[in-house]
Structure 1
Amino acid sequence: MQFSIIVPTLNESQNIDLLLTRLFALHLDPGNFEVIIVDDNSTDGTPEKVRIWTSHANVHLIERRGKPDLTASILAGVAAAHSNAIVVMDADLSHPPEQLLTMVTPILDNNYDVVIGSRYKAGGSTENWPLYRHCLSRIGGWLARSICDVSDATSGFFAFRRELSAHISDKAYGYKILLELLMAGQGKYRILEVPICFRDRMHGTSKLSISHQWAYLQRLMILAGGAINVNTAGRFALVGLLGVFIDAFVFQWLINQAAGLATAHILGFLAAATVNYALNSKWAFRQHHTDCLKWNQFARFLTVGALALLLRGGILALLVYVGHIPATIAIYPAIIATAIVNYFGAAFYVFPDKSNLPSVDIRWRVASIGIVIFIILLRLVYSGLAQLIPDEAYYWNYAQHMDLSFFDHPPMVAWLIWLGTGIMGQNEFGVRIGAFLCGLVAMGYLYAFAYNLYGKSTAMRAVMLLAVLPFGFSSGLLMIPDAPLVAAWIATLYYMERALINGRNSAWLGMGIAFGLGILSKYTLGLLGIAALVFVIIDPTARRWMKRPHPYLAAILALLLFSPVIIWNIENNWASFLFQSTRLLADDYHFSVHYLILHIIIMLTPVGFFAAAFILFSYNPNTQDQYEHRRRLFVQIFTGIPLLIFLILSTFDLPRFHWTGPIWLAILPTIAWMIGQTGDMRVLSSYLRKAWQPTLIICMFIYAFILHYVVLGIPGIPYQIFAEHYFWREATIEIERIVETVQHQTGKKPIVVGMSKWSVASALSFYNQNGSHMDIRSRNMFGDSAAMYDFWFPSQQPTNRPIILVGMKRHQLERNQAGDDLSQMLDQPDLIQYRMIDKHGIPLRRVYYRMAQGFTGKIEAHSLN
């Protein structure tokens, strides 16, 4: 007997004759295979029809009793099979019998361990399925692909070597035994996917139901390492209900006592969490907990609880401040969201099922998914709540003065803000939605880039690193030029790898578009062009592209996309290009390499910094393989060349904090690959791998803590540490009151002058939208440079209108950058004063102001009206 065909049935009497007829009509020797029908207690006469076939064909019938279960049926068939090659298929003719030989031959030839009939492999398809079935199947397969590396892990048509079934867990159940088989192999099986056309059944009814879908999801999470089952979920729900009661009771009592929103929700959470941990550890997850207190487990519980609490604060604030829902009602959906985070955190991190732990690789995949989802939720919840930093407000002003380009940056940031605010409104979320979407685009391209270099597991870890490392987290939250730059940078890297390493002609088109969009975001992306030229010169294989038209056409395409910036510069005497070049050739030299290194350590975290240094200078993989050698060279060139340029610049110029952020995108996949290696015994790499888990947790906690702090506050921690650059919404309200008082007293509308390069004026402009519309200028009124304000408000004419100077620091209201006394340019200036800005009676920051009866200027001129 060469192979056995196992067909599980449940009420398939209309299909069984058709299936067996087609099987025995194949051009196969009937003596070379057997058909084992495993019936799950059918009530429509299916066993009777099978018995007729058993009398004259190599067909066997197994009748199971009890609760129907597809996995149990197939395993019963495997136990009764007489051959080592097993083929599993459905009875409803959805799987083409004509491809049977294609499926089983690789097993018989011992070339593969598992062969899968795939609907989603290139060339595969489905026919006559309703849309909802397509969606359910796609979602189920997509979820399974996170922990196994096949395109159709939920297929019911597959072949395998019989002895592999012994590795399937005794606890396996449900309708997706292929997934059980693949996970039992821990990635060690030789797997082949064969494209098939899946046709929906012609007779009978589908056995798929909501309960089957839930059972599949439950089993998928168990295979991924979660301590999830009906008893655990039920007990957790009961404990959670008690926690909801305690949480809501404490919250509402504190609200009634006039406690702040932050104090009430934090104390309510802590009271409920204390009870929940005691009951979950002793009851809900009892089988995964020891009687004595385990500090490691308790620390994990505190970690999950703290992250859930800080995310919950954002959800509560969103419902109360944006949705205008009463706090006593909003607390309930916030509690539910927290319970979901806590449950999955408890199941996968605090109380995992150690008797069923998957491989380290799978655990990292699951952790990557959880961390990325948490970061995305954190960004989404808080992006519309946290006030704009002055930089974001400045770029919002770009969008209020739309142009082909701007003095200090290309126009992409303005275009994205203009589009976002046009759709979502003139608010924080409208400003930041572009950054959020750019963050998702960057994750997608980084996944594809890392997948091409190292595979799926590394790609998932690379996306996790991008989400958590400071430069990646900030670029996906704050709407500054670095947001589109990071997305375009990694997209350019992806297409460059496809073109230079894999020789794809079509990749040059993508590279031209990505590069063009990148330099529309920030001129820094031009460093990738220099790196590409160096790589082409050094690498003999890539050097052949210099004789082909593709790179030059890509450059022309990028130049066409960049043309708005060129046109703007032509119209404005090359102002932007001259600014970017002269700032690097200034006479004021500063040796700042140490600052650059410090900034890198902050942007990458210390662990990321040492990992990058280890890879760039110490890492020495086996270079016998030509592809591996070129891959290593690609990473070193596209990280090292931009880094070298920044190091040179920092020898005579002060580096900007975020200068080097994007250059680490090229090395992120290699860092992610190193995290997953277990064979490297070098001490440093071993320590680095162990240090990543606490690093990731600390970073997530810091981000969540800061966002919660600036939106809701943290009881006992004052706000004054943000005294200069934040809380401009409240400061603007105070300035509006001063303006109204002056206007009432003088009968003239005052001019408000933000006494910084652009920060104060920009922040006041954004947060003045809903108040009295102030006439806001920047410090270029006093002869200082103010970036785009020099273009928007170039006039320096004297005026007899009242002047109100506003600054973050006292000295900003005393002298300009040239050292001139500002009082000489003002008519009857008052003394410098300040107002303490508060929120609900809590001090936030100081804002300094100075009033005068008019502006005289340095020279006599006609007055402004």
Structure 2
Amino acid sequence: MQFSVVIPTLDEADHIDPLLTRLFALDLVPGSFEVIFVDDGSRDGTPGRVRAWEAQANVRLIERHEQPDLAGSILAGVALAQSDVIVVMDPSHPPERLPALVAPLLDGSHDVAVGSRHVPGGGTGGWPHRQWLSRLGDWCARSLCDVSDATSGFFAFRRELAATLSERARGYKTLLELLMAGQGKLRVVEVPVCFHQRTHGTARLSFHSQWIDLKRLMTLAGGTVSFGSTGRFAAVGLLGIVIDILLFQWLMSRGAGLALAHIVSFFAAAAMNYPLNSKWTFQPPPAGYPRWSHFGRFLTMGLFTLLMRGGVLAWLVYGWHMAPMLAIFPAVAVTAALQYLGSAFYVFPVRQDLPSADVRWRVASLGIVAFAVLLRLIYLGQAQLIPDEAYYWNYAQHMELSFLDHPPMVAWLIWLGTAIFGDTEFGVRIGAFICGLIAMGYLYALARNLYDKSTGMRAVLLLAILPFGFVPGMLMTADASQMAAWAATLYYMERVLLASDGNRAWLGLGIAFGLGILSKYTLGLLGPAALLFVILDPASRRWLRRPQPYLAAALALLMFSPVIVWNMENNWVSILFQAERATGIGNKFSLHWLFLHMLLMLTPVGLVAAALALWQGGDDHPDPCMARRRLFVRVFTGVPLAVFFCLSLFGAPKFHWTGPVWLALLPTMAWMMGQGTELRTIASRVRAAWKPTIAVFLFLYAFALHYVVLGIPGIPYVGFGEHYFWREATHEVEQIVETVQRQTGQKPIVVGMSRWSVATSLAFYNRSENGEPMDIRSRNLFGDKAAMYDFWYPPDPPTNRPIILVGMIPKELEHNRQGHEISPMLVQPGPVLERTILRENKPLRKIYYRIAQGYLGQTNSP
């Protein structure tokens, strides 16, 4: 007998005859298979229908009297089976696909064959809510194993694999249990299958069954969700919620600030929750497990949850103008969900049947990336713009084909975001957030192609955590779109140079490269890198004689044409400006600064890991094709890095310039993270250091965002205030303007005495509803260069309108950048004055201003 078909049933009487008729009509050798029905207590006569077939065909029946459970039914059928190949199906699956399903097992090439709906040729039909439930289950399960349809109920496996199932296996996803028990050692193939909505019988898939499967999936992933923990957690959590909300409202009624009230109430509730959860809700730690470590995990999880909750409160109170007394309720609900997941997977994880290290890394990657993305999204519209973002917002207010210091992509994204969401921080930054997600997607695909799925997930984890990846995904600068385009370009480069994917990949490459140079000229460095790779790689040289690379380059050039047209109309000023910057800022040896900037972009652990990956990463990989992949990584990292190295010999590069360079190296760094754990080499020590590095930097991001939005009680705003908190500073400047206008009867001109930071920040936050916006200019009024302000607002002729100079430091209000005094250009200039900006009676920063009665023009300067 070649294989046994196990069919669990529950009220399937109307399906038995059609199914068996189709099964025995298959063009198979008579007697080559048997059919075992396992009935879970049907009340519609299903057992009788099966018995009617026992006398005429190789059909047997098992009647279970326990609680209905699909996994138990399958195991009961396996125990009775006479073949070493087991097929599991139900009456909704097409029996015509049986030969294709069992063939890979019968020929010995595979251990498991999956009837898949999600591979080419597969699909579903006529599934209403079931399709969405199934998709949700697939999405959750797919992250843990390398099968696209891990929740399929139609599969074949070798009989001995049933012994690997855990005794606690239950629910409706036995295939997932098998795959997880195999820990990636199984040979699995997916066979396309089309499923259809059943016309009779009872479907086992329901919201309740999906909830059971989700809990089991969490257990397989290493989370503690058994022993009634969900209900107990809810009971403990409800008590904590009551304490949290009552104490928060009491503190707010006593005049405490939002930050102080929510921090104190959170820790009060957590102090009560921890002992109850550790002793009652979840399994207590085993004997000998250090209690201080257990509590340290709880404290770490609590801090992350607290900082996330601060963003939710700020979003509701400041963004949606909800009363704090009401906002605390949804904020606490978010806190409870995060605490449950954190407790299940981090504070109280399972201690038995631990998943493999690979699965643990996958789960950690999913959780950390989800937290980092959610953190960005929640604080996206609450953290004030930095001056750079305000400057690019001004780009969008003066739309042109290009701009002096950057191509137009950043302006286009801000224009689109603000057109949809208004001139808000969220509207400005949503483009950066989406670009961050795009970069993650392309990086995952690149790392998966170069190595495997687990490496792809770890690569995304690194991009979400390392400063060069987190910051562009949060702040709307030209680096945001460049990061996405750089990742996309690398992906398509790999497809055309290593995988030879053909015309579609070349089209994608042309578009990605074009969008990249529309974002930032730096991406052009990937062009020479590609040429060098083609020269060094014999298999790729054939592309030099084919039209696709040249057509892709032509497409990218066509997309770049707006920048060319703008430069032609403006005497190539942008090209000359960028060429001057490329020769170095400051004209001095700055190689040491380059390494410092790399340290800031990658963290110390990341920098060492990058060096190891560049030097020896992948040398011991068993894949014979790894030599080409290693060359790909080294060339596309090394060429741009060598350019910055050379530039730093003659001038100081900007600290963020090397950021996207590391995208090509991240897959190798991620692959090295998943190797052995012995602490005998530098690489092993780096692997061990990644976990604390990830935790520390994720905490720093959350802490910094909470700090700038809500503040941290007891920690003053010191060190960076002169470049931030422009919303409050603008309000003070508006008051000064109103006072001067009331005294003189004329609308004053406000001059931001920096290159563009002050003027653009004031312009964005100037939201006065009582009158016209302020008339804002920049320092080019006094003979200095002011980037795009030289185009937008050329120096005015002399005027007797009042002039208000605003700056971040006093000396900016007295001399221009050439060292010339400003006073001779002003009429009756006053002294430099100072104002302290407050929030809730606490100092945020200072601004400096100077009032004059008119402007004489630059011709009167010395």
Specify if TM > 0.5: yes
Displacement of 1:858 after TM fit? 3.4
Q: Distance in 2 between matches of 1:98 and 1:568?
A: 63
Matched residue SS, 2:294: helix
Letter in 2 for 1:261: L
The equivalent of 1:112 in structure 2 is 110
Q: Which runs of structure 2 are paired with 1:195-594 in the superposition (5 Å)?
A: 195-229=192-226, 231-288=228-285, 294-506=291-503, 507-585=505-583, 588-594=586-592
Is the Cα–Cα contact under 8 Å of residues 155 and 178 in structure 1 kept in the other structure? yes
Q: Distance in 1 between matches of 2:838 and 2:203?
A: 64
Displacement of 1:49 after TM fit? 1.4
Q: Distance in 1 between matches of 2:332 and 2:678?
A: 44
Is the Cα–Cα contact under 8 Å of residues 30 and 58 in structure 1 kept in the other structure? no
The equivalent of 2:147 in structure 1 is 150
Q: Which runs of structure 2 are paired with 1:788-807 in the superposition (5 Å)?
A: 788-807=788-807
The equivalent of 1:3 in structure 2 is 3
Q: Distance in 1 between matches of 2:168 and 2:356?
A: 18
The equivalent of 1:12 in structure 2 is 12
1:535-569 Cα distance to aligned partner (Å, 9 max, x none) = 11111111111111111111110000000000000
Is the Cα–Cα contact under 8 Å of residues 439 and 487 in structure 1 kept in the other structure? yes
TM-score, normalised to structure 2, is 0.98
Letter in 2 for 1:567: V
> Residues 208 and 746 from structure 1, CA distance in 2 versus in 1: closer, same or farther, beyond 3 angstroms?
same
Letter in 2 for 1:509: L
1:704-758 Cα distance to aligned partner (Å, 9 max, x none) = 0000000000000001322210000000000011111111111111111000000
Displacement of 1:300 after TM fit? 1.2
> Residues 623 and 103 from structure 1, CA distance in 2 versus in 1: closer, same or farther, beyond 3 angstroms?
closer
Matched residue SS, 2:858: coil
> Residues 860 and 832 from structure 1, CA distance in 2 versus in 1: closer, same or farther, beyond 3 angstroms?
closer
The list of structure 1 runs, each at least 4 consecutive aligned residues, that deviate by more than 3 angstroms after superposition, is 286-293, 584-588, 622-626, 679-682
> Residues 451 and 829 from structure 1, CA distance in 2 versus in 1: closer, same or farther, beyond 3 angstroms?
same
| Structure 2 unaligned residues grouped into runs of 5+ | none
Q: Distance in 2 between matches of 1:153 and 1:744?
A: 72
The equivalent of 2:823 in structure 1 is 823
Please point out which of 611, 614, 617 is paired with 1:616.
614
The equivalent of 2:76 in structure 1 is 76
Displacement of 1:860 after TM fit? 5.9
1:353-377 Cα distance to aligned partner (Å, 9 max, x none) = 1103100000100011101111111
Q: Distance in 2 between matches of 1:814 and 1:355?
A: 71
Is the Cα–Cα contact under 8 Å of residues 130 and 206 in structure 2 kept in the other structure? no
Matched residue SS, 2:426: helix
Q: Distance in 1 between matches of 2:645 and 2:403?
A: 27
Q: Distance in 2 between matches of 1:34 and 1:582?
A: 79
The equivalent of 1:87 in structure 2 is 87
Displacement of 1:76 after TM fit? 0.3
Is the Cα–Cα contact under 8 Å of residues 260 and 712 in structure 2 kept in the other structure? yes
Q: Distance in 1 between matches of 2:482 and 2:584?
A: 26
Q: Distance in 2 between matches of 1:215 and 1:221?
A: 10
Letter in 2 for 1:700: L
Q: Which runs of structure 2 are paired with 1:167-186 in the superposition (5 Å)?
A: 167-186=164-183
Letter in 1 for 2:218: M
The equivalent of 1:61 in structure 2 is 61
Q: Distance in 1 between matches of 2:17 and 2:390?
A: 72
Letter in 1 for 2:839: K
Is the Cα–Cα contact under 8 Å of residues 612 and 667 in structure 1 kept in the other structure? yes
Is the Cα–Cα contact under 8 Å of residues 813 and 850 in structure 1 kept in the other structure? yes
TM-score, normalised to structure 1, is 0.97
1:480-528 Cα distance to aligned partner (Å, 9 max, x none) = 0000000000000000110111122221111110000000000000111
Letter in 1 for 2:70: L
Is the Cα–Cα contact under 8 Å of residues 432 and 479 in structure 1 kept in the other structure? yes
Displacement of 1:101 after TM fit? 2.0
Q: Distance in 2 between matches of 1:837 and 1:487?
A: 37
Q: Distance in 2 between matches of 1:239 and 1:776?
A: 56
Displacement of 1:208 after TM fit? 2.2
Displacement of 1:476 after TM fit? 0.5
How many residues align? The count is 858
Q: Distance in 1 between matches of 2:676 and 2:190?
A: 29
Q: Distance in 1 between matches of 2:124 and 2:279?
A: 48
Q: Distance in 1 between matches of 2:535 and 2:102?
A: 49
Is the Cα–Cα contact under 8 Å of residues 175 and 212 in structure 1 kept in the other structure? yes
> Residues 46 and 125 from structure 1, CA distance in 2 versus in 1: closer, same or farther, beyond 3 angstroms?
same
Displacement of 1:586 after TM fit? 6.8
Letter in 2 for 1:725: H
Q: Distance in 1 between matches of 2:395 and 2:767?
A: 15
1:636 corresponds to 2:666: no
> Residues 583 and 116 from structure 1, CA distance in 2 versus in 1: closer, same or farther, beyond 3 angstroms?
closer
Q: Distance in 1 between matches of 2:358 and 2:204?
A: 34
Is the Cα–Cα contact under 8 Å of residues 440 and 460 in structure 2 kept in the other structure? yes
1:702 corresponds to 2:736: no
The equivalent of 1:41 in structure 2 is 41
Matched residue SS, 1:580: helix
Displacement of 1:574 after TM fit? 0.5
Q: Distance in 2 between matches of 1:587 and 1:103?
A: 65
Is the Cα–Cα contact under 8 Å of residues 281 and 289 in structure 1 kept in the other structure? no
Displacement of 1:192 after TM fit? 1.2
Please point out which of 653, 656, 664 is paired with 1:655.
653
Displacement of 1:262 after TM fit? 0.2
> Residues 243 and 290 from structure 1, CA distance in 2 versus in 1: closer, same or farther, beyond 3 angstroms?
farther
Displacement of 1:692 after TM fit? 0.6
